[in-house]
Structure 1
């Protein structure tokens, strides 16, 4: 397996088809492939060697798609940079990976210049913006125009495709080494489930540095579909893009879906003018979709089929999938929709105890995964790799259980589990109860210090616009749904929850307010 294979096939079979539309410009597969081969040639001309790391520090763009194909075409390895990091974190990732070339766009040129001065392995910075090229940087378009296209280096199989740094909740992130087989086997699951086809037009709203978005990019290439990058998430611009570019497919976090629906309700006149009927597929991840949000989304987009996935960077990233057939009233009644689905086509999943023994169905344990999607390891961290990958199984650190039909139910990160008075409380279960409260828009449940019980259950709640609630009303609601020891003993009401770039709630940020270092 190799990342550029699908591009070669489309250049041969559909050279005149549009592969990317971005800011009023479009490229066919033939034009895109030529630019990729020329950018790869430019990287080689700059001295990039086999396996060397090339970083991209940029918002979503057509050039980001070219980067994702050109770096492996040149025989090098990817290092997408999280643009939400501090300069210190960016510098760490460049130094840790030994990055040789950094490609940067307009918002990040100042940070790039700052970190370059402290990164001894960094030989070149390529400016991929549309303005004046900053002093000391090379111009992206000039490099593409002035370089001869090179033959594909044909990196494949277990060759390193890229280093993808995890967000990390404490300390600096770990570099996850993923191979060509890892990435393509994982992306293939989307095609096997029928989520992507040649007619797919995917709007890339999630940040492209994130592996969930990159997996979608690979799946669209495999299907021979088209890409519409959006620089950053904006609910109004997203709706405009769906209508303008006849988008068929989206990947969003539930928080993004909610913001999109809120925008439509607040801008009724403009919403009525937009034809968003092309949208037929909505994939979500990062957190569960509540029944209330699903019903609201289905009412707005009746033609849309929903699916979700669960995974992590170390799994390239897919472990389980829950398809459209389990997003209906029957699945809601049976409880299947509360799951994260079943093992993806190329993957095995088990639930085990601390000794690694598989537990009976319905018993909570740690989720472990085996398959061609399991990472090569952590960059320069053999001990961490040995701890995470044992006998070929990736130990996710996530707690969950499996039902008799193989559906996996995620209950919590093992480290996020609340132990109150000796009882295990899984925050996801409490959050599901809170989600059905008529006044609650979003919630996050954490453990906070308690003198007697060690920890007590604390809810951080975002209320729906114009709605009101008290701790007492929340407790009364939860008492009808969950055991008494799981009911929040305290609550705070906030305007918004802290979230990552892909909409995942940052519970560590919430805990910091309550736990002393």
Structure 2
């Protein structure tokens, strides 16, 4: 198994088919393959050798699609950098990984002096933007134009394919080591389900391309010979325009993105009839957003993918036919390539319907954390990845994620899972987003608190919302307090950062 095998197949089967579209620029698979081979030669000319780490700090583009093939083609290791990190986090990941070459576009070129001053291992900056190449950098397009194609070394199987740094929600990020086998197993499993991508698909990169979820779609599209359409970054209006203009059939987004697209005031003004399949994941989606999506796009086939970076990333899939009452809050059944169990604190399987830790086994499970053997040993036990997510499996094999174990609220001796409370809140008209956390309480240990973002025209009080929630869930789970916020803190992957919310309340209390 190797990351470039989908490109090789398309070069043979559909060389003249459009491979990439970015703005007014497009390339066929034959042109893309030639560019990848030439850029790999250019990297080798810069001194990139077997196992060297080549990072990218860039908005989405067709060059990002090429990056994911050219780096392994040159026998190097991927390191896509989270574009929403602080400069300190970016510098940390570059130093921790020992990155030698960094691809950087126009948006991040102003960071170059700080990077070169703080990252001694980074010997070369390659400019992969559309503007003039800044002084001290090497032009991406010049490397493509000035080098003859080289043969693919076919770095493969259990060899390290990339370092994928976690979102840094619990301190500095960890580098997740994923092999070619890990990544291809996950992509093939998702494709085998039939839920995302077909051979005639046009896939929109709406999610940030540094994120592993989008890479799974990227690899799947390459395996099937689909057309990649890239937009620089997620913006709801541009997503609507691009779907209509390029007749997009498949897209992957996180729930916060879906909510912003379907609730956009112009959503009904665009022809979205080409869109056939939408896969979502990255965080729990509320029932309210799901129902509004189905109302706007009744023909759309929705699939939820649950997983994490350490699982390359897919573990379970909730297919289109399972998006029915009673299963809308499920994460799905084990994907074709994975096995899922629920284990207790001692590592023993729990009875059906009992909440425990979700654990996953399969060829998609990571090699480990880069230079962190103790942290690797803490989560990898006998080949099983201990996810840190609490959940249960019902009698039909459907996995339900109830909360991050660390986010579970204990109030008056009762366990409250924030996802259930957030699901109830989402059904109240005028709620855009919510996050439920536990606040310290001398009497109860913790009390349930909701942070809510209203729709622009919404007019309701905390009392109205609490009364609504009381009609849907047990009283001890109902928020005792509500704050209305302009926005919720988000990670680069679109996940709500409850850690930041808890920290802000702790600071206020202090």
8 Å CA contact 1:21–1:228 kept in 2: the answer is yes
8 Å CA contact 2:40–2:73 kept in 1: the answer is yes
Of 443, 450, 456, the match for 2:441: 450
Deviations 1:397-454 (A, max 9, x none): 0000110011010000000111112221110111111112234232110011112222
Task: Give the corresponding residue for 2:148.
Answer: 148
- How far the C-alpha of 1:38 sits from its partner, in A, is 0.5
8 Å CA contact 1:54–1:101 kept in 2: the answer is yes
Q: Tell me the secondary structure at the aligned position of residue 453 of structure 2.
A: strand
Q: How does 1:240-259 map to 2 (within 5 A)?
A: 240-259=241-260
Tell me, yes or no, if structure 1 residue 172 matches structure 2 residue 172: yes
Tell me, yes or no, if structure 1 residue 276 matches structure 2 residue 277: no
Task: Give the corresponding residue for 2:297.
Answer: 301
Q: TM-score, normalised by structure 2?
A: 0.97
Q: How does 1:309-348 map to 2 (within 5 A)?
A: 309-327=305-323, 331-332=324-325, 335-348=326-339
50 and 339 in structure 1: CA distance in 2 versus 1, 3 angstrom threshold: same
Tell me, yes or no, if structure 1 residue 387 matches structure 2 residue 378: yes
- How far the C-alpha of 1:154 sits from its partner, in A, is 1.1
Unaligned runs of 5+ in 1: none
Task: Give the corresponding residue for 2:428.
Answer: 437
Q: 2:472 & 2:209 partners in 1: Cα distance?
A: 39
- Residue-pair matches, total: 507
Q: Tell me the secondary structure at the aligned position of residue 117 of structure 1.
A: helix
- How far the C-alpha of 1:193 sits from its partner, in A, is 0.9
Tell me, yes or no, if structure 1 residue 286 matches structure 2 residue 286: no
Task: Give the corresponding residue for 1:87.
Answer: 87
Deviations 1:68-117 (A, max 9, x none): 10000000000001111111111111110000100000010121321111
Larger displacement relative to structure 2 (436-445 or 31-40): 436-445
424 and 295 in structure 1: CA distance in 2 versus 1, 3 angstrom threshold: closer
Tell me, yes or no, if structure 1 residue 495 matches structure 2 residue 486: yes
Q: Which runs of 4+ in 1 moved over 4 A?
A: none
- How far the C-alpha of 1:289 sits from its partner, in A, is 3.4
Deviations 1:347-396 (A, max 9, x none): 00000100010000111000000000000000000000011100000000
- How far the C-alpha of 1:466 sits from its partner, in A, is 2.4
8 Å CA contact 1:449–1:514 kept in 2: the answer is no
Q: Tell me the secondary structure at the aligned position of residue 204 of structure 2.
A: strand
Q: 2:399 & 2:45 partners in 1: Cα distance?
A: 49
Tell me, yes or no, if structure 1 residue 372 matches structure 2 residue 363: yes
Q: 1:371 & 1:258 partners in 2: Cα distance?
A: 32
8 Å CA contact 1:308–1:323 kept in 2: the answer is yes
Tell me, yes or no, if structure 1 residue 3 matches structure 2 residue 8: no
Deviations 1:249-280 (A, max 9, x none): 111122212211232xx237xx53x4321111
Please give the root-mean-square deviation of Cα atoms over the aligned residues, in Å: 1.3
- How far the C-alpha of 1:176 sits from its partner, in A, is 0.2
Larger displacement relative to structure 2 (398-407 or 247-256): 247-256
8 Å CA contact 2:197–2:221 kept in 1: the answer is yes
Q: 1:6 & 1:174 partners in 2: Cα distance?
A: 29
Q: 1:40 & 1:236 partners in 2: Cα distance?
A: 36
Q: 1:112 & 1:57 partners in 2: Cα distance?
A: 11
8 Å CA contact 2:167–2:493 kept in 1: the answer is no
8 Å CA contact 2:287–2:423 kept in 1: the answer is no
Q: 1:142 & 1:57 partners in 2: Cα distance?
A: 19
- How far the C-alpha of 1:495 sits from its partner, in A, is 2.1
- How far the C-alpha of 1:67 sits from its partner, in A, is 0.6
Q: 2:494 & 2:38 partners in 1: Cα distance?
A: 35
Q: Tell me the secondary structure at the aligned position of residue 401 of structure 1.
A: strand
- How far the C-alpha of 1:290 sits from its partner, in A, is 3.2
8 Å CA contact 2:316–2:335 kept in 1: the answer is yes
Task: Give the corresponding residue for 1:357.
Answer: 348
- How far the C-alpha of 1:56 sits from its partner, in A, is 0.3
Q: 1:256 & 1:324 partners in 2: Cα distance?
A: 19
Tell me, yes or no, if structure 1 residue 485 matches structure 2 residue 476: yes
Q: How does 1:213-232 map to 2 (within 5 A)?
A: 213-232=214-233
Unaligned runs of 5+ in 2: none
